[in-house]
Amino acid sequence: MALVPAAQSADQPQTTAPPQVANIKITVSDTGIRFSPKIAQRGSMGRFVLVNVGKKPHTIVLGNERRGTGVQTGFSK
């Protein structure tokens, strides 16, 4: 009796490869916010680059700043 491992199919994801990183530029002005690009490939990680081109200071909040059991944490800058 011999144990033979099952052949892996070609359509299975590579678990050891790092995920793709999408650079997302966020431009904040005194009149609005622009994102570029507006979409990314599913499963990719995002790197956010914040640029304030306005004359006033602006606060960016990602996630939820409250901390506690079952609450997502975030930050503001």
Across 50-77, average pLDDT: 76
For all residues of the chain together, what is the average pLDDT? 78
Which pTM does this prediction carry? 0.56
Q: How far apart (Å, rounded) are the C-alpha atoms in residues 62 and 46?
A: 13
Across 54-72, average pLDDT: 75
CA angle 43, 66, 56 (to 5 degrees): 85
CA dihedral 35, 49, 30, 38 (to 10 degrees): 0
Percent of the chain with pLDDT over 90: 21
Q: Is the peptide bond between 37 and the residue preceding it cis, with omega within 30 degrees of 0? A: yes
